[in-house]
Amino acid sequence: MGIQRSFLSPNLPLPSVAVEFLTREWTVGHLDLREWLVVVSSRQAGRRLREGLAALAAGRGAAVFPPLVVTPEFLLTFGDQVERVATAPDTVLAWNEVLRGLDFASFGALFPAPPRRPDFSWALATGRELARVKRLLAEGGLGMRDVETRAPEGFGETERWRALAELERRYRETLKTHGLTDPDEAKIARAANPAAPDSVKRIVLLGVPDPLPLAVEALKKLSETLPVVVAIHADARDRDAFDAWGRPVAEVWEQRVEDWDSGEDLFFPCSDAAAQARTAGLLLKECRDPARSAAMGAADPAVIPFLERSLPRDCDLAAYDPEGRPLKAEELYNLLACFRDLLRVSDFGSCGEMIRCPVVIRYLDHLPGLPPFPVWLRIWEEFGADHLPGDLAAARALANGEGRTDVVVRRILETVETMLGQFSQAPVWEALPSVLRTLHGDLRFREDAPADRRYLAAAEAVMGVLEEMRDSPLAAGQGAAGADGLDLLLGLLGDKHIEEDRPEAAIDVQGWLELPWEEAPFLVLTGMNEHHVPETIAGDPFVPESLRRPLGLKSNRMRFARDRYLLESLMKCRRENGKVAILFGRTGPEGEPMRPSRLLMRCSREELPQRVNRLFADPPSLERRSAWSSPWRLRPAMATPPERISVTQFGAYLRCPFRFYLSNLLRMEPVDPRKTEMDAAEFGSACHRILEAFGRDEVLRRSQDAAEIQAFFESELDRFFRFRYGHDLSVPLVIQKEAISGRLARFAEVQAEERRLGWIIEEVEWRFPDDDALCIGGLPVRGVIDRIERNEIVGTYRVLDYKTADQDREPEKDHFVEIKKNEDAEGVPEYARFELDGKAHRWIGLQLPLYLWALRGRCGEETVCGYVNLPKAVTETGISLWRNRSRELEESAYRCAEGVVADLQGGVFWPPAQKVAFDDFKDLFFGDIEGLTDPSDLRFHNSES
Amino acid sequence: MKKSIQNEMILASAGSGKTYRLTNRYLRLMALGAEPERIVALTFTRKAAGEFFDEILKKLARAAETPAEAAALAEGIGCPDLDSAAAAEMLATLVDRMHQLELGTLDGFFYRIVRNFPFELGLSAPPELLDENAMRMEKRRVFRHVFRTPGQSGEAARREFIEAFKQATWGSEEKRLSSKLDRFVDDHHEVYLAAPERELWGVERRIWPEGCRWLGSRVDHRRALAVLEERFQSRKLSEGQSKAWRKLFAAAEEWEPGSPWRPEFKTPLGNALKVWPDLEAGSAEYMIGRKALPLDPVECAALRDLVRCLFASELEKKLQITRGLYEILRGFESAYADLVRSGGRLTFGDILTLLAGGADQEQRPRLSQDDHGPGRLAINYRIDGHYDHWLLDEFQDTSFVQWRALSDLIDEVVQDAEGRRSFFYVGDVKQAIFAWREGDSRLFREIYDHYNWAGGPAAIVEQRMSESWRSSPAVIESVNRVFGDHEVLKTLFLSDAVIRWIDGWDPHRARHEDRQGCVRFFQAPDRESRHAAVLAVLREVDPLVRGLSCAILVQKNDQAAEILQYLRAHGEFPVAGEMDIRPGTDNPLGMALISLFKWAAYPGDTYAWEHVRMTPIWTIIEERRSSAERDSVARGILESIHRDGFACTAAEWIAQLERINVLDPFNRERGEIIVSAARAFDALGRRSVADFVEFLHDYSLHETGADGTVRVMTIHKSKGLGFDVVILPELEGERLDARRRKLAVSRTASREVEWVLDPPARQIVEHDSVLAAHDRTTGADACYERFCQLYVAMTRAKRATYLVTEPLKKSSSSANFVRWLNAALAKGDPVNVSCGDTVLELLYETGNPEWYAEFTPPPEAVTGDSERREAREYGVRERRRRGTPSRAKPRVVGAEGLFSLDSRRSLEFGSRVHEIFSRVGWWESGTVEELESMRNADAESPLMVRAFEEVLACLRASEVRAALTRPEGEVELWRERTFEVILDEEWLTGTFDRVTLVGGPEGRIQRAEIIDFKTDKGEGDLAAYTRQLAAYRRVLAFMTGLPPERILCRLLYTHRRELVTVF
Ligand code: SF4
């Protein structure tokens, strides 16, 4: 029958000449092309072709019975198979089986350094790599076994390829025992013995500049029985520039000088991808009806997201990527990944991530016994923060522990664990659908809602792979359950894309190889950078360029010829009625330099220097750089007036009324989702709890025996930790526990000594009574005194507060400071100021004076007060008393307290203090609280003023 | 190659034309016939590599265009034959081979190698490069793993880890672990990688092979104290002496081995050490309380014991801490190797470690181009490159490890007997400011020496370049004064550092002798006034208006931020910071978005919530709340994040803010960056808000300044750049020999680690010969690096440098930059000069202070309306809506159907049934038998058999048989007929299952029938099927010209064997 070449005019775009070619013989009636088999380069090309045919026919009031339009792949898969062809899961599992438990010793040439952990994921990754190599070789009709014989003279890696061939043999063997054949091998076999559907009477290879070598083999075979036409989008005069299969001949295209007009508006060097997107937008704007007359190519996919963002803004057009969205970016994928993580590590944090997935939220929300969202989530969060469970088992133990009422948490845990349980009992294709059915419940997805459609498409992709997994005869033994199964699934899903609907007013952003099928007269090419066009392979662990050529695989040279030809035809067909703009970036996403494609430098020698100057000229700077500014002032909300005030809040107010407002009245408190250990407050309160228990023990608190006291501390500490954090402590908690233990051990000695000096505990955790007497300005004052002691010998009292900061603290320093000379004394309210030793001071804390005030009448004048310091340096452990106390000072403190309450009630929260020791709000105000705050709502809800 | 080419080492002072030499070398190689793809040129930053390539191209382009340029180039590269034609030829070659050139960074080169040898290096698959942020995330994962409550098996390991932690933090118990551990790993991981063997860490005999003077005495210091106390009680000490003794006594009594070293020890112990020989002799005059106290033998012995005990305990503790540290790092490292590295996720550091080998040098892979032998990685084959000529730039910044990874390759070149290959390295040891990043400028000379000993006298030729093409004579004069005044250096700094400096120093000369310029050195009392002085200088010189470039160089990033803020607030010209920014969090918008997301995911986060309420976002939430509750707004955000990703969600909220018109340009720009950062995060396929917030916190960018702005940057970033005007206002700081390292790491000449120790108190270091020697080296290295830093700063200016410092403090004697500049430049008291309307104190000046006068502002460019181009009109091509009638899947899908594998099986089943029906033409008597025999042929596949059964069952129904029977008259039958048609601008694609066309006389079609097969078991969605058939009918009507009512449309439900007429 034979092969014939046919040249389609390069002066018109490929779709129109292709349509013209196919309809040459059409005279009347509907356009019936059913006897044609048309091979095009991609599905998108096929779509364009069929649309073109339909449009042409419509012009004559006719319909089309289309030809069979296929990609070259079709020729390698059509026809009856003797053996079942392995699916993707089959092949992955087969590699896995071969690689697990490999005797590395006998594969030294391939694995000179055996892997550290040859586990499931190692096998998965390695299998993927080997499969890649195999696929690559198969394009040329080869297997790993063929490389040795075809390799060039002096080939240095013979041993290695022998090892690979052996692995390949084992792999094929594995498939074979399950009645399967490798898809690539099947294609090779098919290429030698291709088939075409009965309806087909002739074949055309239409505008495919680089058909797979295997497909060419198949066509060669088919041409024995069917006429095959190779239609080339080029001038017939250029016949020598193409081989029999329409492939550009490298020798010719390497020498060829460009023959298009490279005038003014052709090249647009841009600084980076963002600038390319912006320039593209400007160019489109210059065009009257861009949606219908312009198209865009993105040779560098990194430009696409920038186009997606800037085209709608700059020219009211959506940028549509026909490739679709990566499946990885879909909600469902993330849900599966959450399951996988949880199955792998089963920690509390991963579980938290999972229950924040919307479907899970929805499911839990309908669960009987749970309060509505977000209440249960908040309870869950608090549980985690309080108990720091390491993993789910620990969490369960804690939630179920004696005296616990964490119903919500228990319920959530049960639910999650039930779901997880399914994965350990059944293979993933059973467990997962069942879990997903449960989770999604009665949710319904509407095909006409875009978001739903994406969800549906993702779900279908997932189910498709699951089905293949189920049907894989190899899946029975391995990798089908639990995290491994999900890993396998996610791996197989990883590269898939989901098609999106094309919005009405949109510009398609197409890949380089799709562009010949684009008809729009104005073509904006972005990403025309070296390494993207032509794509260049530099190095390969198995099949580098130097090996590709002898093996007959696609090489850099062939890609160059193809792309050089493609560029020419894109330019040529727009010479008369159109225009091309070529954009490229000079820096990549990480600031790396990028070069314009060398395709753009195929001009004459004479012109080259000038061209180089043009292409490498500094791109115009489109960047704007504005000075720092804030778009708004932060306006804190109104607060609820306090019903009481605690002794420590006085200090907070004195240090900064504004921050007091934020933290005490608005109660701003951040959540640390990564919390793994106790925070400072919890650390302190743990110490308090133990000391409290000690103080309440009638016998022990009289003890003068440090060892005995310490033993008590230890057992209380154990009890406390067990209750709060369970049996299995995480490493940080063990260390914190030991830190507390160390501090208390030292204190046991201090305690014994103090006891010997006559001090006996009278009260611990003494709560201020709900007493009208303990009001200031009508506001009840609240406080808890850690310890009240009486000296049995002298009879005086001592009031103590525990401090667990890292450094030991002195009461004076916590309560007042000297007003420095350069400080604005006027800024300090009158009531907070006092004189001491002739120097101006100010109050910054009132805790101890207020303790004394609360105890007045009870303990007498000579009562002393101070701190029990439990700092990290054990040598500093001990009691530190407020030394320069005086009646006068106490009165001043009390006056100060009255002042604070009056200001508080009067709504004085402004201005803020300039400097504070620890600023919890630093991040919000960028060093300029006053400038960036709008204080107009700093007041109470019901204050009318 | 025509001429053989020398190996060269070039020591190029700042501004002496390093890039010029490098590009010339490249061109010379090419001119001599080297293939460009066989030249490898490596530098440190990708930016530099890019500029290098551009420069080569442009040089060639110029030479190709004009003969004069060609002649200049010919001379420059020493190839007189080169003319324009030859240059054009070279240019073409270079462009043709662009994709094969190896011009890049060392890191990139190594990565390429590792990527192509995964199995040889024990990696699983092609490695994945971790960036900063990804690495931090991985690290957190490793920490979580290390922290987790282990099962039985892990218990021992956990206990070990905890013990190690306690040991490493000995004496300073830690109540918080995470941050501490983080710091340990950050600070010391590198050291661990260089020295992974246990016996290098805190092992006495390695540090003191000859024995340590202090260790070994294990007497209790309290005993010694007691003796002295008793003795001194009985002696008459003066009041001062007594007080001093009490102080020491109290401190030492309280001190425990392990608690911090006490400042009280310093003087009394120091005084004891001063008279150590006397103490040993048994009679000494001991200075205490500023008065000598004669000691008798017993007292001498006791005092000696006291010192020894204290020193010994402290050292003992440090040894233990070091060992504990080692165990921690080892624990972390092995978890990291298991969880991250072995999966092929590598940092650049890991890549280097793989190639250069860790400690075990025998194990390391050897890179080679010539040799395929065992243990060799023959790189050229796998990376598609073969290199004859090596050009290494900025060589002073090369680390020893990098060099080790390369050295075998270079060795092959230098040892090449035929001299076909060459090695060229260039740099400036005076600009070695990256020692803290392991840059090792000593290599420069060592390599030279190594080859020149080994390979005859001239294996490598040395060249020194000290003529500055960049700077004015004034600038050069000041450089010579500061860096060439060896007397000043010697009096101020450690001699080792000074000697090393002098060794690399040549007096500089200015190439452009008549270039106007100046250097002025001002002093200002405090930071604020230093900044004001900067402003005054800028106003006076007015560089931007005069078309001059200008930079303000500082030592640290935060200083840059501060100056930037100051100048933006007070200046009237554009200022750009050139620094690493955190665009996620350095602006109100970013913080607000973070709070919004956190609130959505962590409903208990009142901080986030109240913050959101303070911003205009609240207005938007309020709006939404009118239709929904506040909590459902939060839920909506979570849903949006999960459905569309962080980028879309952020973009959506930014758009909302735009809608209510509250954004300003700065935050708008930041918003763009945040969205694109979020996109990068989304690409990882994660939806965790906690991860995202961390990501955004860590996300950093380097902002670069544009032309036409005053640029503020660190000295480190300014390396390699030149500016007309340079201002240095932040030279304050600590002494130059301040040690940077936290651990003492001693290395041999071949850079192998000998020992590691957490250094003890200074006093002990000073009195231990081993530690003191090591400390001196570290100090000298630190000092030298800082010389380099100032050198880089002072050599950036083309015209003028302005230095602004605070006055030297009388009290401080620390040898810092300020002291140095005062000693080298300032002579006598400052004089007042006016600078604009500000009076400044001038300490030194050279050149013409009004040098800038010759630069007059260019006349205002006439800016006409840049004509807006006419909108262009092109032809149009329609994009039609695409319809597929068969997409009659139920429009609403429930979870039951969606997530069941069986529904998918039925889909496959359906297509088989369709396929079998398409084989049935007209119903005839033999049809059943025919189908049965087909079924038997397909008996292998159960699915096929079932499908055949289904079809056969249908055929048993008389109604179905009737429908498939040939009608009377002219008839045409379509089976599985695909069509494309455009109707009302909609492009319809579909397949008729079965169509019967019945014609009348003259072949005109009279009527038609469409049958569509439905294989689903249930009712199906009749409404959808009706829509579908309506579309089919429309198409067929168009094709046949029949009025629609003549077309009968029927559904064949195969499961129910039932025909339903729809129209
Ligand atoms: S362009 Fe980016 S940010 Fe904008 S909607 Fe699309 S993905 Fe989201």
The predicted-structure confidence for A595-607, as pLDDT tens digits, reads as follows 999 999 999 989 9
Q: Pick the residue of B642, B682, B873 with the most A CBs within 10 A to test the interface with A by mutation.
A: B642
* Cross-chain residue pair A671–B605, CB shorter than 8 Å: yes
Distance CA A719, CA B421 (A): 75
Average pLDDT of span B580-607: 94
With beta carbons less than 8 A apart as the criterion, state whether A633 and A934 touch: yes
Q: Pick the residue of B83, B130, B879 with the most A CBs within 10 A to test the interface with A by mutation.
A: B879
Average pLDDT of span A73-85: 86
Q: Which residues of chain B does A284 touch, with a Cβ-Cβ cutoff of 8 Å?
A: none
Percent of chain B scored above 90 by pLDDT?
47
Q: Give the pLDDT of residue B687.
A: 92
- Work out the mean pLDDT of chain A and round it to a whole number: 90
Residue A419 exposure: Cα atoms within 13 Å on the Cβ side: 28
> What is the per-residue burial (b if ≥16 Cβ within 10 Å, else e) of A306-316?
bbbbbbbebbe
Cis, peptide link before residue B849, omega less than 30° from 0: no
Is B573 near chain A, with CB under 8 Å? Answer: no
Q: Which amino acid is at A596?
A: P
Confidence of residue A608 (pLDDT cuts 50, 70, 90): very high
> Which of A259-268, A763-772, B886-895 is predicted least confidently?
B886-895
Residues 905-924 of chain A with CB under 8 A from chain B are 923-924
How many A-B residue pairs are in contact by the CB < 8 A criterion? 488
Distance CA A738, CA A873 (A): 14
3-state DSSP assignment of residue A509: strand
Sign of CA dihedral A181, A182, A185, A190: positive
Residue B114 has pLDDT above 70, yes or no: yes
Chain A residue nearest residue B661, CA to CA: A631
Distance CA A273, CA B1058 (A): 60
What phi, psi does B317 have (nearest 5°)?
Answer: -60, -45
Which of B133, B177, B342, A674 is closest to B185 using CA atoms?
B177
Residue B867 has pLDDT above 60, yes or no: no
Nearest CB among A349, A466, A521 relative to B875 is that of A521
**CB under 8 Å, gap of 24 or more: what pairs does A396-400 form?**
A397/A726, A397/A727, A398/A725, A398/A726
Distance CA A696, CA A693 (A): 5
Which of B622, B596, B621, B591 is closest to B609 using CA atoms?
B596
> Which of A135-149, A875-889, A897-911, B358-372 is predicted least confidently?
B358-372
Ligand 1 atom nearest to B675, measured from its CA: 3
This prediction's pTM: 0.89
* Cross-chain residue pair B381–A157, CB shorter than 8 Å: yes
Whether A313 is in the pocket of ligand 1, judged by its Cβ within 6 Å, is no
The 10 Å Cβ neighbour count of residue B1017 is 13
Whether B309 is in the pocket of ligand 1, judged by its Cβ within 6 Å, is no
Chain B residue nearest residue A115, CA to CA: B122
Chain B residue nearest residue A83, CA to CA: B940
Query: Parallel, antiparallel, or unpaired for β B467-468 and B580-581?
Result: unpaired
> Which of A75-89, A785-799, B583-597 is predicted least confidently?
A75-89
Q: Give the pLDDT of residue B859.
A: 64
With beta carbons less than 8 A apart as the criterion, state whether A182 and A91 touch: yes
Q: Which residues of chain B does A503 touch, with a Cβ-Cβ cutoff of 8 Å?
A: none
With beta carbons less than 8 A apart as the criterion, state whether B841 and B522 touch: yes
Is B381 near chain A, with CB under 8 Å? Answer: yes
- Residue-wise DSSP of B614-664: HSTHHHHHHHHHTTS-HHHHHHHHHHHHHHHHHHHHHHHHHHHHHHTT---
Ligand 1 atom nearest to A312, measured from its CA: 1
Sign of CA dihedral B301, B305, B307, B308: positive
Average pLDDT of span B164-188: 80
Is A381 near chain B, with CB under 8 Å? Answer: yes
- Residue-wise DSSP of B955-985: HHSHHHHHHHSPPSSEEEEEEEEEEEEEETT
Chain B residue nearest residue A594, CA to CA: B50
Distance CA A122, CA B122 (A): 11
Distance CA A32, CA B980 (A): 10
Q: Give the pLDDT of residue A808.
A: 82
Q: Give the pLDDT of residue A752.
A: 95
Which of B314, B275, B19 is closest to B171 using CA atoms?
B314
Chain B residue nearest residue A353, CA to CA: B688
Higher pLDDT, B319 or B707: B319
Nearest CA to ligand 1 atom 3: B648
Average pLDDT of span B361-378: 74
Residue B55 DSSP label = H
Confidence of residue B870 (pLDDT cuts 50, 70, 90): low
In sequence order, the β-bridge partners of residue A818 are: A841
Distance CA B1002, CA B335 (A): 86
The predicted-structure confidence for B811-863, as pLDDT tens digits, reads as follows 777 889 999 999 999 888 899 998 878 899 999 999 999 999 999 876 654 44
What are the start-end ranges of the H helices in B275-425? Answer: 276-281, 297-339, 348-356, 379-382, 400-414
Q: Give the pLDDT of residue B218.
A: 66
Chain A residue nearest residue B587, CA to CA: A630
- Work out the mean pLDDT of chain B and round it to a whole number: 88
The predicted-structure confidence for B461-496, as pLDDT tens digits, reads as follows 999 999 999 999 999 999 999 999 999 999 999 999
Whether A157 is in the pocket of ligand 1, judged by its Cβ within 6 Å, is no
Higher pLDDT, B682 or B125: B682
Q: Which residues of chain B does A451 touch, with a Cβ-Cβ cutoff of 8 Å?
A: 643-644
The predicted-structure confidence for B501-551, as pLDDT tens digits, reads as follows 999 999 999 999 999 999 999 999 999 999 999 999 999 999 988 989 999
- Residue-wise DSSP of A196-265: --TT--EEEEES-SS--HHHHHHHHHHTTTS-EEEEEES-GGGGGGB-TTSPBPHHHHHHPPP-S---TT
Q: Give the pLDDT of residue A15.
A: 94
Residue A404 has pLDDT above 80, yes or no: no
Q: Give the pLDDT of residue B256.
A: 78
Whether A308 is in the pocket of ligand 1, judged by its Cβ within 6 Å, is yes
Whether B648 is in the pocket of ligand 1, judged by its Cβ within 6 Å, is yes
3-state DSSP assignment of residue B485: coil
Nearest CB among A353, A442, A627 relative to B688 is that of A353
Distance CA A55, CA A63 (A): 9
Nearest CB among A467, A522, A626 relative to B666 is that of A626
Q: Which residues of chain A does B706 touch, with a Cβ-Cβ cutoff of 8 Å?
A: 621, 623, 625
Higher pLDDT, B678 or B123: B678
Residues 236-265 of chain B with CB under 8 A from chain A are 254-256, 259-260
The predicted-structure confidence for B633-672, as pLDDT tens digits, reads as follows 899 999 999 999 999 999 999 999 999 999 998 899 999 9
Whether B675 is in the pocket of ligand 1, judged by its Cβ within 6 Å, is yes
Residue B151 has pLDDT above 60, yes or no: no
In sequence order, the β-bridge partners of residue A639 are: A940
With beta carbons less than 8 A apart as the criterion, state whether B612 and B599 touch: yes
Is B154 near chain A, with CB under 8 Å? Answer: no
Q: Which pair of tokens denotes residue A426?
A: 């059944």
Is B2 near chain A, with CB under 8 Å? Answer: no
Ligand 1 atom nearest to B651, measured from its CA: 3
Query: Parallel, antiparallel, or unpaired for β B701-702 and B580-581?
Result: antiparallel
* Cross-chain residue pair B162–A731, CB shorter than 8 Å: yes
Residue B1017 DSSP label = S
Q: Which residues of chain B does A557 touch, with a Cβ-Cβ cutoff of 8 Å?
A: none
Average pLDDT of span A326-333: 92
Burial (CB count within 10 angstroms: exposed 0-12, middle 13-18, buried 19+), residue B952 = middle
Q: Which residues of chain A does B126 touch, with a Cβ-Cβ cutoff of 8 Å?
A: 129, 541
Whether B1037 is in the pocket of ligand 1, judged by its Cβ within 6 Å, is no
> Which of A31-40, B683-692, B873-882 is predicted least confidently?
B873-882
Q: Give the pLDDT of residue A363.
A: 94
Q: Give the pLDDT of residue A944.
A: 45
With beta carbons less than 8 A apart as the criterion, state whether B208 and A709 touch: no
Dihedral in degrees, nearest 10, Cα atoms A826, A829, A830, A834: -90
With beta carbons less than 8 A apart as the criterion, state whether B798 and B723 touch: yes
Sign of CA dihedral A19, A25, A27, A29: negative
Q: Give the pLDDT of residue B549.
A: 92
Distance CA B257, CA B261 (A): 9
Q: Which residues of chain A does B604 touch, with a Cβ-Cβ cutoff of 8 Å?
A: 378, 381-382, 671
Ligand 1 atom nearest to B650, measured from its CA: 3
Q: Which pair of tokens denotes residue B233?
A: 């009680």
Distance from CA of B839 to the nearest CA of A (A): 25
Residue A639 DSSP label = B
With beta carbons less than 8 A apart as the criterion, state whether A501 and A450 touch: yes
CA of A535 from ligand 1 middle (Å) equals 27
Residues 818-877 of chain B with CB under 8 A from chain A are 869, 871-877
What phi, psi does A143 have (nearest 5°)?
Answer: -115, 175
**DSSP tally for chain B: helices H, then strands E:** 39, 33
The predicted-structure confidence for B127-139, as pLDDT tens digits, reads as follows 888 888 888 888 8
Q: Which pair of tokens denotes residue A928?
A: 């300029």
Q: Which amino acid is at B974?
A: W
Residues 709-748 of chain A with CB under 8 A from chain B are 728-732, 734-736, 738-740, 742-743
Q: Give the pLDDT of residue B95.
A: 94
The predicted-structure confidence for A195-235, as pLDDT tens digits, reads as follows 999 999 999 999 999 999 999 999 999 999 999 999 999 99
Q: Pick the residue of A628, A682, A733 with the most B CBs within 10 A to test the interface with B by mutation.
A: A628
ipTM field: 0.92
Average pLDDT of span A322-328: 88
Distance CA B804, CA B840 (A): 10
Which of A476, A448, A364 is closest to A413 using CA atoms?
A364
Q: Which pair of tokens denotes residue B34?
A: 């080297």
Distance CA A788, CA B960 (A): 99
* Cross-chain residue pair B685–A334, CB shorter than 8 Å: yes
Confidence of residue B2 (pLDDT cuts 50, 70, 90): very low
Burial (CB count within 10 angstroms: exposed 0-12, middle 13-18, buried 19+), residue B334 = middle
Is B50 near chain A, with CB under 8 Å? Answer: yes
- What are the Cα distances from residue A833, in Å, to A648, A651, A816? 18, 14, 9
Apex CA B73: angle with CA B67 and CA B79, to 5°? 105
Higher pLDDT, A232 or B632: A232
- What are the Cα distances from residue A489, in Å, to A33, A125, A326, B266? 41, 13, 15, 67
With beta carbons less than 8 A apart as the criterion, state whether A191 and A76 touch: yes
Q: Which pair of tokens denotes residue B502?
A: 């002098």
Q: Which pair of tokens denotes residue B389?
A: 């000529």
Which of A651, A659, A657 is closest to A925 using CA atoms?
A659
